[in-house]
Amino acid sequence: MARSRSSSTGWRYLNPAYYLKRPKRLALLFIVFVCATLVFWDRHTLVTEHQEEVSKLNEEVTRLQNMLEELKSEKGVSVGKMNPKAKGSDTTKKIDVLDDPISVQRRERVKNAMIHAWSSYEKFAWGHDELQPQTKNGVDSFGGLGATLIDSLDTLYIMGLDEQFQRAREWVANSLDFNKNYDASVFETTIRVVGGLLSAYDLSGDKVFLEKAKDIADRLLPAWNTPSRIPHNVINLAHGNAHNFVWAGGDSILADSGTEQLEFIALSQRTGDPKYQQTVESVIIQLIKTFPDDGLLPIYINPNKGTASSSTITFGAMGDSFYEYLLKVWIQGNKTAAVKHYREMWETSMKGLLTLIRKTTPSSFTYISEKMGSSLIDKMDELACFAPGMIALGASGYGPDDSQKFLSLAEELAWTCYNFYQSTPTKLAGENYFFNSGQDMSVGTSWNILRPETVESLFYLWRLTGNKTYQEWGWNIFEAFEKNSRIESGYVGLKDVNTGVKDNMMQSFFLAETLKYFYLLYSPSSVIPLDEWVFNTEAHPLKIVPRSGQRENFEGSDEQKKLIVRSRARKEGRFGDD
């Protein structure tokens, strides 16, 4: 009976009448029900939110994995880790680096500097060659060819400044006119205008740039009509009359005569017309006849005889880019047999360069001296600070021992060039430096005109070694430009790096070279990869196109006539082929 009574008592709690007679117990039951419902609902909500978060995280992981796979699959681009102790690394191995937060920040700062420089030019000097920021007006330093605009095209494109690029493109298409009664420098017009237009074409595929490049190149060609095919360095764009600078005594200048090969060879490749390449390679054919055993040529050449005149030997002003182009034509030709003689000439010149290397006391800064006759001159131009980058770029073409030797030399020279900046009160370099026993270095000509050469070398060394020290040096230089050269209406040079007194010129190469190299110094190596592009001496990247043999088949090569340039993530400037 007890079991039966207990069962009966238990079932009564399920009878609603039991609770109707006992209100307090009904209320308690209601409270228990509400609390249980809330607990259940809260747990359900938490589970749902957790599932949503996990889903978002999974999507982000998938996105990052896809980006990683995309980077791995890019032609010529592998994903690797930077080696912070890369000094002395084997430059035959490609070093690839990814982004990091500091580089992203710095790249954005450089981009903002470009926007400031460009918008100032656009506002105060549109269509003119260069901006005078202090007086807020434009000047035509190069005959009114829109030098800053053309020089900036590829920088705008690489930085993803699409609206600015399109406005510049419209000016080129509708307003750029080369039919001017103006005596133009063949060298400056080639590296800035021909180079800038070809680079814009290679990057964008827009044929308006190619047509304009062909137009100006055709106007320059008569300069090579000399007995030796060594060009005159000045030509009238409207009439084709060519001559040399009076101050050069009738001679042609080495750098001005041997720094058109990249651009004119590229133009032949893009148009299928061999005349441009044949014209500029006639210079090399002439020079190789009497090329000296040490590969060092004086800065003056007789255009009638094709032989060097007695004058200074230097890797600075008027000599520099001749040696640069010997190496870069070899790279442009994809290092094939057709361009082997360029590499051989360059290596000969590097043997000669080693005879010019000296060290200061007491700090042992390595520098490249100049030579007059048999005497060395303890002077080095800031212009010669392109050499560390050039040497590093060419080091991988040697065997292991020589490769290491030249890379170490490049690193030592870069340290000297960095100290050109660090040794002045403004932390900006002067135009040249002298070296005296026991006193290391002293600034000679003390102006700074926003030159890019040291930053250029830091870019190459960072790309080729992965050593972030070069990024830090570059950032110190960038901050010095920001502090001393930035004004409300653009950027200016300094009349004196010791006092900081400003000049009134924003050089076109500041936008073409200095800011571009700064930007690339903080960009991944997939942005303008060095195995797919070669920079001219004005920092205009040209697409590398293989050359099959000594006699080019310009009509039959699709690769030479059609460049396929695909873009990914334009705002970050990544370019490469899938």
Question: Is the sign of the CA dihedral 183, 314, 408, 451 positive or negative?
Answer: negative
In the numeric block, the tokens 């000599």 are attached to 319
Give 326's Cβ-side CA count (13 Å radius). 27
Q: Could you tell me which residues are beta bridge partners of residue 534?
A: 542
Per the annotation, does 355 bind a ligand? no
| Strand intervals (E) in 83-129 | none
pLDDT digits (tens, 9 = 90+) for 376-434: 999 999 999 999 999 999 999 999 999 999 999 999 999 999 999 999 999 999 999 99
Q: Which three-class secondary structure state does DSSP give residue 372?
A: strand
**Closest among 331, 315, 303 to 367, alpha carbons compared:** 315
Task: Tell whether omega for the bond before 362 is within 30 degrees of 0, i.e. cis.
Answer: yes
pLDDT digits (tens, 9 = 90+) for 430-453: 999 999 999 999 999 999 999 999
**Closest among 246, 155, 164, 241 to 203, alpha carbons compared:** 155
Catalytic, out of 96, 122, 151, 188: 188
Could you confirm whether 256 is annotated as catalytic?
Answer: no
Instruction: Assign residue 330 a region (left: φ > 0; alpha: ψ between -120 and 50; beta: otherwise).
Output: alpha
| Residues 6+ positions from 204 with CB-CB distance below 8 Å | 157, 165, 169, 565
Q: Could you tell me which residues are beta bridge partners of residue 433?
A: 380, 443
Could you confirm whether 453 is annotated as catalytic?
Answer: yes
Domains in the chain, ordered, with CATH? 81-142+357-545 (1.50.10.10), 178-355 (1.50.10.10)
Catalytic, out of 320, 324, 496, 532: 320
Q: Which amino acid is at 53?
A: E
Residues in the chain, pLDDT under 70: 1-27, 29, 32, 34-98, 548-578
Q: Which three-class secondary structure state does DSSP give residue 378?
A: coil
How far is 121 from 445, CA to CA, in rounded Å? Answer: 28
| Residues 6+ positions from 300 with CB-CB distance below 8 Å | 248, 249, 251, 252, 253, 254, 308, 309, 311
Edge-to-edge strands of the sheet including 440-443?
379-381, 432-436, 440-443
Residue 139 CA from chain centroid, whole number:
26
In the numeric block, the tokens 């930007």 are attached to 519
Q: What's the token pair of residue 303?
A: 């255009």
**Inter-residue contact 117 to 485 (CB < 8 Å):** no
How far is 455 from 216, CA to CA, in rounded Å? Answer: 30
Could you confirm whether 52 is annotated as catalytic?
Answer: no
pLDDT, residue 568, reads: 30
Catalytic, out of 74, 281, 453, 496: 453
Could you confirm whether 69 is annotated as catalytic?
Answer: no
Q: Is the pTM of this model over 0.75?
A: yes
Cα–Cα–Cα angle for 113, 115, 119, rounded to 5 degrees: 125
